[in-house]
Chains A and B, each alone.
Chain A
């Protein structure tokens, strides 16, 4: 850690100077603020336009997901996880189903694994598209929003045709899948791949060498790889700071070990690097999709799981690489039909903690850019 003072809390109650003489100004951003992506409240301490420090106030969207889990059966809790990171509901479901499968000692059949990977990667692209559109909009570029939402629609259509829902999909079941793919699913995914490849170039044409975009993102919100690890920051933010770590490669789950793809990394850990990392990730997701859709095996889509699930007494921690970082589930079973404890390790919650460090010394306008680049979803932060 570079500076131990960095993590000391803000002492907001006892200003050193009386208010009117003070150079320091404390202002409140949110919770109703269009650029905080939900109900995030940030208390900023400013010197003119420079940020001296900030404190996040969260919990406005707290629904007690972990408490609900203890009062539902394993199957009943499955749809609730979609409501945490609601723009990447498929990833949430994958993590939860795999964690319970580990407890039950079952494995989803190969066909289910392939379809899971396809839907999860489609969701990763959709999540990154939503991030790109809103992040660029916050910084002042309006066009990417229309482009990304237009193209995200194609993914949501595939979800809708597959399971009937667009956002909170509840696509997976413990042990595999409930639904067989519809006629033309593979063709739809192939069509999407050929449709989407030139679209990424379009996004990049708008932003990558755009002078305003460069000025607003280069050198903004810099965080080092060492600080990322100390603060538990994962996902594209960690990779943009030069740490080549992706759970899909480090500790492969589902059947990611069968696919070839690269892990992009950045060098300087600024907002521009995080943008580039996510753009390359979308291209890599397309690569995974191409391989997966070409190799879907025939076979069952559901493993043999008991109708009444009673995992043996024990505990398990399972994590996956969600679009935002490491999404982990810690589940304790007491041998009954209901989980004794479900703990969700949300990537957004932990990543948000780095906001203070990343914003110090920046301008107020950059706070907006940094919140956008962290790619937080408040449903997951507050659970």
Chain B
């Protein structure tokens, strides 16, 4: 399967394996097509997880990772892509409805936007919170003290 994709897309796809787990690094422009094909043609009908990793020193700062599973093949696959800060990805809610909340969480924690998401807003943090906590430049003790003072009426949440 991966070999077939590799033949078709050439340098856009890099299939890799680590500790026995398969994943592929896919060019950002190919992401919507690859995800759609993985579900339709390769039976990856269950999107297990969607998350991101922040590398502030890289030019393309974020890794976005989809963890997929296929019931008929009993096989896992990860799809990974790199995007720069401010770039957006197309939403995969129409492919896997489960990514609705997962994309909201990635947006909440990293500030990555998903085009075409039906309701992209913060999910775990309150509306109006400033900053994206899982970015590496967000200190662990940092908080939106303005939000805390206005909404909770206390000096600091710590």
Contact = CB atoms under 8 A, between A and B. Distances in A.
Interface of A: 1, 7-9, 58-59, 62, 64, 66-68, 70-71, 102-103, 105, 229-233, 243, 245, 250-251, 314-317, 319, 326, 328, 330, 332, 340-341, 343, 345, 349-350, 353, 382-383
Contacts of B12: none
Interface in B81-119: 93, 96-98, 100-102, 109, 118-119
Contacts of B76: 251, 317
A341 B110 CA distance: 13
B71 A229 contact: yes
Interface stretch (B3-11, B27-35, B121-129, B146-154): B121-129
A62 B97 contact: no
A67 B140 contact: yes
A58 B118 contact: no
B46 A229 contact: yes
A189 to B, nearest CB: 32
Contacts of B45: 229-230
Q: How large is the interface on B (under 10, 10 to 19, 20 to 34, 35 or more residues)?
A: 35 or more
A316 B21 contact: yes
A7 B97 contact: yes
A340 B47 CA distance: 23
Given A8-B118, A58-B123, A66 B134 contact: yes
A103 B19 contact: yes
Given A9-B118, A245-B71, A317 B78 contact: yes
A95 B122 CA distance: 28
Nearest to B47: A232
B53 A332 contact: yes
Contacts, number: 92
B158 interface: no
7 contacts: A9-B118, A64-B133, A230-B98, A232-B47, A232-B98, A345-B48, A345-B49
Contacts of B96: 230, 232
B123 A317 contact: no
A86 B78 CA distance: 29
A210 to B, nearest CB: 34
Nearest to B65: A330
A326 B48 contact: yes
A332 B19 CA distance: 12
Contacts of A71: 140
Contact of A68 (B18, B122, B124, B140): B140
B67 interface: yes
Given A230-B98, A330-B67, A349-B101, A105 B123 contact: no
A353 B51 contact: no
| 9 closest Cβ pairs, A-B complex | A232-B98, A9-B119, A59-B124, A345-B49, A343-B51, A62-B124, A341-B53, A314-B18, A231-B98
Contacts of B134: 66-67
Contacts of A70: 136, 140
A237 to B, nearest CB: 13
A7 B19 contact: no
Nearest to A105: B19
A8 B51 CA distance: 22
B140 to A, nearest CB: 5
Contact of B49 (A67, A251, A330): A330
A231 B48 CA distance: 10
Nearest to B135: A67
Contacts of B126: 59
A250 B69 CA distance: 11
Nearest to A329: B49
B48 A319 contact: yes
A343 B66 CA distance: 12
Contacts of B48: 232, 317, 319, 326, 328, 345
